[in-house]
Amino acid sequence: NPLEDRPRRFLLKLSGEAFSGGTGLGVDPDVVHKIAREIAAVVRDGAEIAVVIGGGNFFRGAELQQRGMDRARSDYMGMLGTVMNCLALQDFLEKEGTDSRVQTAITMGQVAEPYIPLRAVRHLQKGRVVIFGAGMGMPYFSTDTTAAQRALEIDAEMLLMGKNGVDGVYDADPRTNPDAVKYDALEYSEVITRDLKVADATAITLCRDNKLPILVFELLAEGNIARAVKGEKIGTLVSD
């Protein structure tokens, strides 16, 4: 197993909504600091961490489209929103003494490097956190799909899906249905056929076709990022 010869590498997908700290909009520095502290701790323990952050705390293309805007243009706005989250996380990682680089799929040389996969891997090997911004750079995609694609391209062993306010995958919405039951483990095919809320279908099929396991867990529960990296039994594991 080639993975045994090198540090463990993970792609961490962070909910953009979580960054807003309950308000749903913008960035709450306290929340971002808390997440940065946890990431810095697992990097100090030797894990390699790459990050993709959603943008739902700024714009979602599909929502703007419903309100009359052109879909592709609103998707670009969505992608630009993710970059602000990336810069916020970079700032707090720096304050924790952890080096990081932001790489964006839409070039913006003053604030970030362009997405260069081999360079991203080099950064990871040097102990830097790599934060991927602007999604895939393409309208009609999501940051979930971006997370799956980047995880595959940098050869991460697992996609860690940090969710906002839910500790795994349930058979019904636990916020509205008190009888909802949490799954400890699921197969990709069940996620797709039952349309379970793990990630969008494009992301799930990408993981399934390439056998990339996904751990869905509650992002803001204290210590959960470390638990996810250590392989403790939290959340829901989606695999073959």
Binding-site residues from annotation: 13-16, 55-56, 60, 75, 136-143, 164, 170, 173
Helices 29-44 and 71-95, axial angle in degrees (round to 10): 60
User: Could you tell me which of 121, 119, 118, 150 has the C-alpha nearest to residue 133?
Assistant: 150
Contact status: 12 vs ligand UDP (CB under 6 A): no
Of the candidate residues 39, 40, 136, 198, the single one contacting ligand UDP (CB under 6 A): 136
User: Could you tell me which of 53, 161, 34 has the C-alpha nearest to residue 112?
Assistant: 53
In the complex, minimum distance from the CB of residue 17 to ligand UDP, in angstroms, rounded to a whole number: 6
Of the candidate residues 8, 60, 163, 208, the single one contacting ligand UDP (CB under 6 A): 60
- 43 vs 80, beta carbon nearer ligand UDP: 80
Contact status: 142 vs ligand UDP (CB under 6 A): yes
Contact status: 138 vs ligand UDP (CB under 6 A): yes
In the complex, minimum distance from the CB of residue 236 to ligand UDP, in angstroms, rounded to a whole number: 18
- How far CA 26 is from CA of 20, 103, 135, 174, in Å, comes to 5, 21, 18, 26
CB 203 within 8 A of CB 147: yes
47-79 CB burial, b ≥16 within 10 A, e <16: bbbbbbbbbbbbbbbeebeeeeeeeeebbbebb
- 40 vs 135, beta carbon nearer ligand UDP: 135
Q: Contacts with ligand UDP in 28-57 (CB under 6 A)?
A: 54-56
Greatest extent of the chain over all pairs of C-alpha atoms, in Å: 52
For the annotated binding site for UMP, the residues are: 55, 75, 136-143
Contact status: 133 vs ligand UDP (CB under 6 A): no
Q: Which residues bind ligand UDP (CB under 6 A)?
A: 16, 54-56, 60-62, 75, 78-79, 82, 135-136, 138-139, 141-144, 146
